[in-house]
Amino acid sequence: MSEASEGGAPAGTSLPRARGRRRTTVIVGVAIAVVLLVVAVIVADVALRSFAEGKVRENILQNLPANVSGDVSVTIGGASFLQQYLAGSFDDVSLSSTDLTVGGVPVSATVEAHGVPTDQSKPVSNVSASLTLSQDAVNTFVAVPGSNRIVFGDGTVGYAGSFEVLGLALGYDATATATPSGPDVLLTPTGATLSAGSASVDVGGALKTIVSKPVPICVAQYLPERVQLTSIAPTPGAVTVRAEATDLLLSADALKTTGAC
């Protein structure tokens, strides 16, 4: 029979137990170290992302054109900031502002950029933007030929004009839908009514002629060269337009170069 150790435990059992306790302590210590390392990496990643967002915002504000003022918020999305930075490109960068003014015109804007290289001499893969402007703001820089004011309705654009019949000047109010068409916004009239003139003259044919002719308005002159409008959504008193671009260089010179009419 084996001898009993002090306290009644079998001899030789205290050493394995001590080794077991030490092994458990080591494992727990390693696990804690790993957890702390992961937390440190996450904290560093978050801190670097926040720092980069601040620097991007600062850079944007410092390089706004002279006729643009306001504040911008920046969000860098995607997975690990460090992994994206080391790979040389950020998956998603979002910009937004509710208090921009462009040439005195108030604008609410959101911009989503995908595939943004860390090297600013390289183009961004895809950029989409949404801009909301009030009716008064639009009327400061856009005009329908022959009309002095644009009025936005629920999905419609209204404007006024005039024409002559038998030497009589007649005014009319027209409504139209708006769609992008290359460098232009194309207003396709859906109806027109007389607003001034002689009711004794049959002008039905003239009004039908007006309604049958789409009205182009060039907007390329207001957009960077590679940017194209993709949709126009009028609402009462305002309009929201969306624009997209691929392989867009975000340098000051590139953005200042506008399209041509």
pLDDT digit string, tens, across residues 192-215:
887 755 554 445 566 677 677 888
Paired with 233 in beta bridges are: 240
Measured at the alpha carbon of residue 74, what is the angle toward residues 70 and 77, in degrees to the nearest 5? 160
pLDDT by 10-residue block (mean), the chain, 261 residues: 49 58 59 52 68 85 78 90 89 90 85 90 93 91 85 93 74 89 91 65 60 86 89 96 92 80 81
Predicted local confidence at residue 152, as pLDDT: 96
Say whether 255 sits in a helix, a strand or coil.
helix
The residue among 76, 203, 217 whose CA lies nearest residue 146 is: 217
Neighbours of 218 (CB within 10 A): 14
Predicted local confidence at residue 207, as pLDDT: 67
Predicted local confidence at residue 16, as pLDDT: 62
Residue 96 carries which side chain, given as an amino acid letter? S
- Residue 142 CA to residue 220 CA, distance in Å, equals 12
Predicted local confidence at residue 12, as pLDDT: 53
- Residue 169 CA to residue 198 CA, distance in Å, equals 9
The phi, psi pair for 101, rounded to 5°, reads: -130, 130
Contact in structure between 94 and 74 (CB atoms under 8 Å):
yes
The residue among 178, 182, 205 whose CA lies nearest residue 194 is: 205
Contact in structure between 252 and 214 (CB atoms under 8 Å):
no
Counting Cα atoms < 13 Å in the Cβ hemisphere of 183 gives: 10
Write out pLDDT tens, residues 151-208: 999 999 998 877 777 777 777 888 899 999 989 999 998 888 877 555 544 455 666 7
CA 147 vs. chain centroid, Å, equals: 31
Q: How far is CA 212 from CA 54, 90, 157, 172, 178, in A?
A: 52, 48, 16, 14, 14
Domain boundaries, the chain: 11-124, 142-221
Predicted local confidence at residue 201, as pLDDT: 47
Measured at the alpha carbon of residue 113, what is the angle toward residues 108 and 115, in degrees to the nearest 5? 175
